[in-house]
Amino acid sequence: MQFETVKAGVIGVAAAIVSSLCCLLPLLVVLLGLGSGAFMMVTMQYRALYLPVGVLGVGLGHYFYYQKKRRCLSTSYAFDGGTLNLVLLSAATVMVALALTLDCFPQLSSDILQMVM
C-alpha cells in the first residue's frame, strides 16, 4: 500500500496526536501514575497551539479523503484505502473531539481524575 492511498488517514491521526498532547496525553500519564499534575499543567500551557493544529489537521485529512473519493468516483477508478482512511479519520476525529471537550470543560477533567484516584 502506498502512502498516497492512506495520506488522509495518516494526516488525521498525526493531527489528533498533536492535539492530544495538551489534554489526553497528560491525563493518561497521570492516571497511569507515571507523572504528576505538574506535568499536566506544563503541557496545558500550549493548548492554544495544539488544539487548532489538531482541528486543522483532521479537517485537512477529511478534505483529502473526500477530494480523492470524489475524483475516483467521477473518473470510474477504484478508490484504494477507503476503509482504512475512514477508520483512521474517525478515530482521529473522536480523539480531537475528546481533547476539545476536556479543554472546554476543565471540571470534567478534574472529575475524571478524582473518580479514578
Task: Give the pLDDT score at 96.
Answer: 87
pLDDT tens digits, one per residue of 16-25: 888 777 777 7
When pLDDT is averaged across residues 89-113 and rounded to a whole number, the result is 83
**pTM assigned to the model:** 0.73
Runs of H (alpha helix) within the chain: 3-20, 24-31, 37-44, 47-75, 82-104, 106-116
Is the pLDDT at 58 greater than 80? The verdict is: yes
Among all chains, which residue has been given the C-alpha cell 489528533? 16
Q: Cα 50 vs. chain centroid, distance in angstroms? A: 10
Q: Span 92-108, mean pLDDT?
A: 84
Give residue 4's pLDDT: 64
Answer for the pair 72, 79: CB distance below 8 angstroms, yes or no: yes
Rounded to whole angstroms, the Cα distance separating 46 from 10 reads 23
